[in-house]
Structure 1
Amino acid sequence: MAEGSKELYPKDLSLTNCDKEPIHIIGKIQDHGYLLVYDATSLKITYCSENVSTILNTPIEKILGASIHSFIEEVLVLDFNNLEKNTKLAPIILSFNTSDFLLIAHKNDDSVLLEFEKYTQPSDPFNYQIQLSQIVTKLNDIREEQHMCDVAADLIKQFYAYDRVMIYRFDENWDGIVVSEARSKELESWLGLRYPASDIPVQARELFLKQGVRIISDIHSEPVSILALEGEERENPVDLTLSELRSSSPIHIEYLKNMKVGATLTAAIVSKGKLWGLIACHHYKPKFINYYERQSCNFLTQVFSNQLILSASNTLLQKVNASAVLRNTLIEQITRNWDIRAGLTGDDLTLLDLTEATGAALCLDDVVYRLGEAPEEAEVFEIIKHIRTQTSENSYVNNAFSLDLKSTPEVVKKASGVLCMFISKLQNDCLIWFKPEKIATVTWGGNPEKAAHEEHNFKISPRKSFEKWSVEQRGKSEPWQDYEIAAAAALRQNISEIILKQYEEVKALNEKLRNAYEDLETFSYSVAHDLRAPLRGIDGFTQILKEDYYNQLDDFGKSSIETIVDSAKNMNQLIDNILEFSRVTQYQINREPLNIKELTEGVLNFLNVKQNYPKTQISIQSDMPISYGDYNMIAQLLQNLLTNALKYTEHSEQPYIELGSVKLEEKQFYFIKDNGIGFDQKHEHRIFKLFNRLVGDEYAGSGIGLTIVERIIKKHQGVIKVKSAVNQGTTFYFNLG
């Protein structure tokens, strides 16, 4: 008894509330059995079925309120009271009125429920056990799922002699499909028929999970009411969840009558704690299966369920092993050059090979790389955007995605099914696979849109027609299998680990770089303070020797003095350049508007070009656009480039330098062009390297100036290019980002 229960069976049941019908407290039992319910503490009988007086030879009014000891031996009552809640006691044979009954007891909350069925002696128990053993052996010998279903249907039909036995499987929407059947020859085949989820609503599925096997022995019999000691039973109903005798919903009975069925046996096929499907047995006249036979059916169904799990597990294991090999190869390809894109999309084996999908895409740094029959780039971005609105999880699986998104026909064709694994929570970086639309003709057992209706006289009447009803199914793909989802999730995890490893490596490199900068600062300080002092000494004493003893030296001595003076001067210049390079590297830029024409004129004045290079003609474009950069750094950049141009045009007959701006590849560049000695274009990258020079000692320089120029451009996130040819001059192009 569900004392204090707030859930009541509705007085007025209609098709608008039948999906919430509390059939576990229906208040009636089937007429092939009898029921007593007593309080486990007081031992008073609190409920009984209306027909129980016929076997107890006692009026109902004397049964209700009486002690259970009046009808059941004390030793048995003690066993009943010691039952764990929601568990059943092994059946006991009792005699009432010279007839034998099978007593099945279970405890529910503080009440004990006793159910009585007439006991019939098995005709040949030994042969029955042999048959049962043979069925188990046959089921255990099968590995392929469909074959297993076919054999199970045939064996159960032979064993229990029902007119029709169906293996009924639920899909992801809880619609059912008959995947196998065994039937009498005169019956029409229902193989392949589908039935909507409303035919077996959620509360019925939950009861099947708990009860396992259930019979309706006579569809046309009248159910027997349960009577209460106090008030109406429905006001404080008995929980019949585990009852063997519980009556069925009147809607379900009407449904079976419309199917012309006389009796049923239904067993739950459970896989990993979830209702996989049902073994549904139909008979076209009344048929009673006793408790022991029902338990045998429950046992056979468990064997069948275990074999299904084993078959599915073996298939999954094979697929997982194959995908693991593919995944390892993909990871090897990625780590070969630490390139996720190349590893997943640029080799013989790609992301697409990991699942049964026909299209795939990798989205990385807001760039989409498509494989196979994948939607266009813009459509992929739209798909990812929609997925982000649907879930915050790392994974998303849908085999009717195009219906959800209301996609264009082209997207429906390619991406009715979507499997997505995000590799970043903050960005759209993801792995995504696509399955195409699978247009299929689905045959229902009757029109699923007319699952039930209500007559004008308010009589509940479920769907009357079960004739085959075929419809075309669109907008869906083949379902995503567990092994595909597992393989995709594992690849996502592997890539996340690679990204994390790269992050740790970058972090270590950054630490090394920070230490290198500190070493550079120390080196710069040493150059500025430790090297300059001895250099000044060398230069100073050499100047003394030159002034006081120069005329006393022979030609070699004089040449040596000049060499020391020049070397000291060059060394001092080199130190200045190194310090300048160090300052540029560590300098934080401060952008401001720059008039490049005025800045160039200032630099030319500083270099005193008119006096030092009187032959050189310089042309500056008057309408160069304003740019944004650091004043001091760009002044230094111009000084280095102009110094180079002046130096390498000095020996030309008519030295010429031009400064201006031009558009290249839709971007604005400044240029400095000269008609100097030039160089071979193949060396264009060498000229920016530290201490790298393409000329001999006839031209002064340390090989640092252009390195500083490139570093300044990088600081501004700009671009520098050079075009040159031997004896045809050089042009440097640059912008400031």
Structure 2
Amino acid sequence: MDLSACDREPIHLSGAIQPHGVLLALDPDQMTVVQVAGDTMALLGMPPEPLLGQSLEARLGSVAATKLCRLIDEAIVIPRPLLVFETTIGVSPMALDGVVHISEGLIVIELEPQRSGYEREPLALVQRMVANCAATETISQFLASVAKEVFKATGFDRVMVYKFLQDGSGSVIAESRAEGVDSFLGLRYPESDVPQQARRLYVANWLRLIPDVAYTPAPLVPADNPKTGRPLDLSHSVLRSVSPIHVQYLKNMGVQASMSMSIVIEGELWGLIACHHYSPHFLDTRLRAACELFSQIASLQLQEKIASELARERVKAGEIERAIVTSMAREGFNDALISNRPNLLDLIPAKGCAVFVDGKLSSLGDVPSEKQIISLIHWLDANGQDGVFVSESLAALFAPAEDFRQVGSGVLAISVSRTPRDYVIWFRPEVTEIVKWAGNPEKPVQPSSDGETLSPRASFTAWEQMVRLKSEPWTGREVESAKSLRTSIMEVILRTLDDTLRARHEAKAHQDMLMAELDHRVKNTIAIIQSLVRFTSRSAISLEQFQEDLQNRLFSMARMQTLLTESRWEGVSISALIESELDTLPADCCQVAGHPFVLKPKAALAVSLAIHELATNAQKHGSLSIPGGLVSIDWDIEENSPADVFVITWKESGGPPVMPPTRLGFGRVLLGKAIALDLQGDVNLRFDPEGVQCRLKMPLTQIVRRDEAPSGKKVRITPNNLIACDNARVLVIEDSGLVALNVCDLLRTHGMIPVGPFGMVRESLRALDVESFDLALLDIDLHGEPAWPIADALMDARTPFVFTTAYESDVVIPARFAAMPVVNKPYQEQQLLAALSNALVGDSN
């Protein structure tokens, strides 16, 4: 039987109305009647034809005409029928209610007589109905209250709440009925009972009344809208004649009068409040308006209750998901999803679940066999979409599933990788259900006696159907939780592969920022070195002095770079800075005191250069140039006006008498201008006869913070134990050509014999077998390849070696090499020689 004819029936173009009222269609320009229908004789005192062309005022009186004209003049939008006026015609005592809407350029007025006992306080009625429903707690209690309130307000024999299900059918989920009336609660109705075009009209019109199904339709006169030449669109007409199939449907049920009110949630038809009466039953316009308003408010209340319940479920599911993801990051994939609590079955209720990752299958609860699950996964790979598959009747799509229906009739699966697919799958068993239909759902309509039209089924006797190969349905919230978990799993397992677009953009922006900062620091460092070379060359009196002074200044910069790297360029402790600059001086010649402050990177670099120049001068000409000389360094915050400042004081004593220099060397230039500029402060350098004094002042903004404790003294390699290394053969493993040449030259200068250099891991390992050497100097990174295999071979051969690196050694060197000496680049000559000497001494001992 082709049911599409029901869906195609143009029920909004019925061309007729129910005869208990009158419809007048007015031309808005002339305000004259151009179409008419209904019991005009009883309500207006004349047949339809003479009414055509008459003015509104002539037929309905000046009061009604004035109200309507004011409404039109004010251009108020009338999306649905609006109760505008009440009037009486001539000397008739009958009062009429006028309802107005606009259709296809015509003003449509529908008149109905006021009934005895009509509702005089519709707003108060709605308030009582809404209050009683709002007092309920659960959704089922709310819907039962809705049915009860409508039953009391309207007097219908039966009031039902009818919900549309996922498959399009409907079910009676709440009911209130008069004594002796059969119950329809729990009955199911096929989708075709409410055709699609009727469902669309229920969204547009919240209420539809048929007070007497035995009515004879009253046709419009003339039949067509004179403005369009087509039948008038009666979508919003309150009197519109309904489909003959629907009338017969009600008659077959034994119903004489019916009313339907829409339940609309988020713009979709969720269900109906369906009212039945077993004799004609008229409701006046005010009571219907109250019912329509109630259905709208009840829809909003139901929407809020559904949303609240869903929100509670989402919060609970979110807490479980967070616990699972946290456990996954801490304990591993399978333990978090299967073994621990909460697990997958706590997140989404099911009888069993399975996890298939990297070819390994784990399961919990009742699940199909491993072979059956693997077969299902292959099918999902070919048929799954968007990473999520949901079915409550898997066998209808995947025939082999019938064999494991007792554990897996319903499946919810999420893919957690790209290709090959890995899956998390929940299984629900078959639930054999007895569905009670209102009549045989396989015969919702039948041919009429003429054999050409359709008629609804004649019997609505409860018809039971056994439903197999189906599980409990997966709710929208459960599918939503599965999708959310999929996203979390993808983030944990696939890392950046499935990050959101926002995260990728942020990562790229962060990378660009780091590259720009690195570029800035490198270029700035090169600029500083360029300046050091320029000014050192000007003040040097020989090439040897230039080389020595420049090298020492570069080493000072390198030490500061190391301290900044250790702090991730957040700042440098003043204690660590001074300790680093005075590292090679005897401990008894320096007195250092001050609170543990941390300087900003630029200020720290400026202070390190100043301390280096002062220490160099003290060793060459000042207090540290003779035995017994002393340098004291202290720092603190000093009260000043208009703002406090941070002051570092350098003071020499016990040295030879000081004479002010006659030549302006690089150190004085640096201390006099450059350092003050970098510190945004002031440098006061005095050459007192008792010793040089220098005060470095800077604003407190140059301080990052105050440390909790001063830094500890680091163990350092010093040249004090340097022994003769004459003729020692040193295997040089270094991937930078210039650095390797410099090291080999340094070794030769101090009487050692360089072997190599070698710059690749493979050739260096060969050299271990063919070359003769006493110890090795080993760069830890050779063209991006770690040198650990070479170090392991040297340790196995018990050959001493020294690591060299530009990295922070504590970060990159494996624990098994923790005891091995390390020299950081750039090399300080004496430290490199001391490390080699100590390595040889340790080996000989």
State if a TM-score over 0.5 links the two structures: yes
CA contact (8 A) 1:209 1:270 kept: yes
Cα gap change, 1:143/1:390 in structure 2, threshold over 3 Å: closer, same or farther? farther
Instruction: Name the residue aligned to 1:36.
Output: 24
1:479 aligned to 2:473? yes
Moved more, 68-77 or 520-529: 520-529
> Which of the residues 159, 167, 176 maps onto 2:170?
176
> Which of the residues 45, 53, 59 maps onto 2:33?
45
Instruction: Name the residue aligned to 1:463.
Output: 457
Equivalence map 1:409-558=2 (5 Å): 409-424=402-417, 428-458=421-451, 460-498=454-492, 523=735, 525=737, 529-532=741-744
Cα gap change, 1:129/1:541 in structure 2, threshold over 3 Å: closer, same or farther? closer
Cα gap change, 1:231/1:170 in structure 2, threshold over 3 Å: closer, same or farther? closer
Cα gap change, 1:229/1:67 in structure 2, threshold over 3 Å: closer, same or farther? farther
CA contact (8 A) 2:417 2:494 kept: no
Alpha-carbon shift at residue 226 of structure 1 (Å): 1.4
Query: What is the alpha-carbon distance in structure 1 between the residues aligned to residue 335 and residue 489 of structure 2?
Result: 13
Query: What is the alpha-carbon distance in structure 2 between the residues aligned to residue 445 and residue 583 of structure 1?
Result: 81
Instruction: Name the residue aligned to 2:111.
Output: 116
1:23 aligned to 2:1? no
Equivalence map 1:567-716=2 (5 Å): 570-571=772-773, 690-691=792-793, 693=795
Query: What is the alpha-carbon distance in structure 2 between the residues aligned to residue 476 and residue 204 of structure 1?
Result: 30
Instruction: Name the residue aligned to 2:67.
Output: 76
Task: Map Cα deviations across residues 128-175 of structure 1 (whole Å, 9 max, x no partner).
Answer: 766654433221110112222223323322322211121211111121
Query: What is the alpha-carbon distance in structure 2 between the residues aligned to residue 138 and residue 50 of structure 1?
Result: 39
Cα gap change, 1:358/1:257 in structure 2, threshold over 3 Å: closer, same or farther? same
Instruction: Name the residue aligned to 1:103.
Output: 98
Query: What is the alpha-carbon distance in structure 1 between the residues aligned to residue 796 and residue 226 of structure 2?
Result: 108
Cα gap change, 1:416/1:532 in structure 2, threshold over 3 Å: closer, same or farther? same
CA contact (8 A) 1:106 1:112 kept: yes
Cα gap change, 1:151/1:50 in structure 2, threshold over 3 Å: closer, same or farther? closer
1:261 aligned to 2:255? yes
Cα gap change, 1:281/1:406 in structure 2, threshold over 3 Å: closer, same or farther? same
Moved more, 161-170 or 407-416: 407-416
CA contact (8 A) 2:358 2:422 kept: yes
Query: What is the alpha-carbon distance in structure 2 between the residues aligned to residue 372 and residue 319 of structure 1?
Result: 23
Alpha-carbon shift at residue 395 of structure 1 (Å): 3.4
The amino acid across from 1:107 in the alignment is I
Cα gap change, 1:214/1:186 in structure 2, threshold over 3 Å: closer, same or farther? same
Cα gap change, 1:296/1:387 in structure 2, threshold over 3 Å: closer, same or farther? farther
CA contact (8 A) 1:27 1:233 kept: no
1:195 aligned to 2:297? no
Instruction: Name the residue aligned to 2:272.
Output: 278
Instruction: Name the residue aligned to 1:214.
Output: 208
Query: What is the alpha-carbon distance in structure 2 between the residues aligned to residue 19 and residue 541 of structure 1?
Result: 99
The amino acid across from 2:442 in the alignment is E
Query: What is the alpha-carbon distance in structure 1 between the residues aligned to residue 28 and residue 225 of structure 2?
Result: 20
Q: Secondary structure at the match of 2:69?
A: helix
CA contact (8 A) 1:217 1:264 kept: yes
Alpha-carbon shift at residue 117 of structure 1 (Å): 0.5
Instruction: Name the residue aligned to 2:342.
Output: 349
Moved more, 236-245 or 416-425: 416-425
Instruction: Name the residue aligned to 1:622.
Output: none
Query: What is the alpha-carbon distance in structure 2 between the residues aligned to residue 468 and residue 568 of structure 1?
Result: 98
Alpha-carbon shift at residue 340 of structure 1 (Å): 3.8
Q: Secondary structure at the match of 1:139?
A: helix
Alpha-carbon shift at residue 394 of structure 1 (Å): 4.0
Query: What is the alpha-carbon distance in structure 2 between the residues aligned to residue 377 and residue 250 of structure 1?
Result: 57
The amino acid across from 1:267 in the alignment is M
Query: What is the alpha-carbon distance in structure 1 between the residues aligned to residue 381 and residue 30 of structure 2?
Result: 59
Q: Secondary structure at the match of 1:690?
A: helix
Alpha-carbon shift at residue 491 of structure 1 (Å): 2.1
CA contact (8 A) 1:80 1:89 kept: no
Query: What is the alpha-carbon distance in structure 1 between the residues aligned to residue 491 and residue 423 of structure 2?
Result: 14
Task: Map Cα deviations across residues 645-682 of structure 1 (whole Å, 9 max, x no partner).
Answer: xxxxxxxxxxxxxxxxxxxxxxxxxxxxxxxxxxxxxx
> Which of the residues 270, 294, 301 maps onto 2:288?
294
Alpha-carbon shift at residue 177 of structure 1 (Å): 1.1
Query: What is the alpha-carbon distance in structure 1 between the residues aligned to residue 11 and residue 733 of structure 2?
Result: 83
Query: What is the alpha-carbon distance in structure 2 between the residues aligned to residue 410 and residue 208 of structure 1?
Result: 43
Instruction: Name the residue aligned to 1:317.
Output: 311
CA contact (8 A) 1:69 1:77 kept: no
CA contact (8 A) 1:157 1:164 kept: yes
Cα gap change, 1:701/1:466 in structure 2, threshold over 3 Å: closer, same or farther? same
CA RMSD of aligned residues (A): 4.1
1:404 aligned to 2:397? yes
Cα gap change, 1:446/1:134 in structure 2, threshold over 3 Å: closer, same or farther? same
Cα gap change, 1:86/1:314 in structure 2, threshold over 3 Å: closer, same or farther? closer
Greater relative CO, 1 or 2 (CA 8 Å, sep 6+): 1
Instruction: Name the residue aligned to 1:236.
Output: 230
CA contact (8 A) 1:19 1:202 kept: yes
What residue ranges of structure 1 are gaps of 5+ in the alignment?
A: 1-12, 543-565, 588-685, 703-737
CA contact (8 A) 1:150 1:181 kept: yes
The amino acid across from 2:162 in the alignment is Y
The amino acid across from 2:67 in the alignment is L
Cα gap change, 1:341/1:527 in structure 2, threshold over 3 Å: closer, same or farther? farther
Query: What is the alpha-carbon distance in structure 2 between the residues aligned to residue 19 and residue 493 of structure 1?
Result: 41
Task: Map Cα deviations across residues 302-339 of structure 1 (whole Å, 9 max, x no partner).
Answer: 343333223322322222121111111112112226x4
Alpha-carbon shift at residue 277 of structure 1 (Å): 1.4
Aligned-pair identity (%): 28
Alpha-carbon shift at residue 472 of structure 1 (Å): 0.9
Task: Map Cα deviations across residues 266-286 of structure 1 (whole Å, 9 max, x no partner).
Answer: 111222322221111111111
Instruction: Name the residue aligned to 1:709.
Output: none
Query: What is the alpha-carbon distance in structure 2 between the residues aligned to residue 391 and residue 39 of structure 1?
Result: 58
The amino acid across from 1:404 in the alignment is L
The amino acid across from 2:467 in the alignment is Q
CA contact (8 A) 1:27 1:226 kept: yes
Cα gap change, 1:385/1:58 in structure 2, threshold over 3 Å: closer, same or farther? farther
1:60 aligned to 2:272? no
CA contact (8 A) 1:535 1:568 kept: no
Q: Secondary structure at the match of 2:82?
A: coil
The amino acid across from 1:466 in the alignment is F
Instruction: Name the residue aligned to 1:307.
Output: 301
Moved more, 481-490 or 286-295: 481-490
Alpha-carbon shift at residue 344 of structure 1 (Å): 2.6
Cα gap change, 1:389/1:204 in structure 2, threshold over 3 Å: closer, same or farther? farther
Q: Secondary structure at the match of 1:470?
A: strand
Query: What is the alpha-carbon distance in structure 2 between the residues aligned to residue 567 and residue 212 of structure 1?
Result: 93
Query: What is the alpha-carbon distance in structure 1 between the residues aligned to residue 421 and residue 112 of structure 2?
Result: 64
Query: What is the alpha-carbon distance in structure 1 between the residues aligned to residue 197 and residue 230 of structure 2?
Result: 20
Alpha-carbon shift at residue 583 of structure 1 (Å): 8.3
Alpha-carbon shift at residue 106 of structure 1 (Å): 0.6
The amino acid across from 1:25 in the alignment is L
Alpha-carbon shift at residue 436 of structure 1 (Å): 2.1
